[in-house]
Amino acid sequence: MKLFEGKKGLILGVANDRSIAWAVAKEILDQGGVCGFSHLPDKADDEKKKNRMRVSKCVDAYPAQTAFLEPLDVQDDEQVASFMKMAGEKLGKIDFLLHSIAFADRDDLSRDTVETSRAGFKLAMDVSVYSLISVTNYARPLFNADASVLTMTYFGGEKCVPGYNVMGICKAALDATVRYLANDLGPHGHRVNAVSAGPLKTLAGVAAGVGEMQDYYGYVAPLARCVTHEEVGRSGAYLLSNYSSGITGEILHVDAGYNIMGSPGRLLYEFKK
């Protein structure tokens, strides 16, 4: 029997086939799960519906296991409520919820943290942090007794990663949100965790110069390399499965061990050459 056979859930935040959310979703689908997907709303004048098209290219390979693909603006509570109502009608009770949603204005990301605009800070926190609270709250009536919630964080919320700027503050807040939601939902049997992945070539990662970070991880991380989409996908699926039934409020680092290091590791030898 496959790990997710007979399981149903929601995948929120797939942007394209390089998304970490898709790596997790693909593992779930390959393990027999049924998923409902969201996508970013397309602009009214976008005849090609590019946001929907990118996600559709992913899920089209799993027609029997894709319950729906619908737009969702997580900044609109009415849309979130409507989306969850629709999910309940099409899926019934659900076993898992993946939240992989974050955003900050490019201008705010490109400037020093001390220069972050007030409007940009509010926007980044609303989309990247409050959205987890919102979607979890509206999805609660759908949860089966042992349902699991997973979000995506990054090491920049624990330590300062130059260039990550305001998003690092958002990830720190997201990490705290995981713990408080785990406490709220625990008595009902629901779990809330996060995966902290090493740098991967995603839509956001490429824009942030992830290639250089991957080279750096090759020197510093104990495994002497960066991780793959598949490794993160399997780890995320594990936290959404019954195999992790005793784990909640945790941040699972899937980063080839980078987070344990207190020095630049093998990079020190490069400096001495």
Task: Look up 154 and say whether it is catalytic.
Answer: yes
Whole-number CA gyration radius for the chain: 18
Contact status, residue 219 vs residue 265, Cβ threshold 8 Å? yes
Q: Which two tokens stand for residue 18?
A: 């390089």
Listed in sequence order, the residues at least 6 apart from 237 whose beta carbon sits closer than 8 Å to its beta carbon are: 3, 4, 24, 27, 28, 31
> Strands of 191-197's sheet, edge to edge?
66-71, 34-39, 8-12, 94-99, 143-153, 191-197, 251-254
**Cα–Cα separations (whole angstroms), residue 55 to 13, 32, 46, 78:** 9, 19, 15, 23
Task: Look up 164 and say whether it is catalytic.
Answer: yes
For the beta carbon of residue 214, count every other beta carbon within 10 angstroms: 18
Tell me the C-alpha distance between 209 and 214, whole Å. 9
Listed in sequence order, the residues at least 6 apart from 141 whose beta carbon sits closer than 8 Å to its beta carbon are: 84, 88
Catalytic residue among 62, 138, 164, 238: 164
Question: Residues 195, 84, 121, 44: is their CA dihedral positive or negative?
Answer: positive
Q: Which two tokens stand for residue 229?
A: 């989409």
Catalytic residue among 138, 154, 217, 238: 154
Active site residues: 154, 164
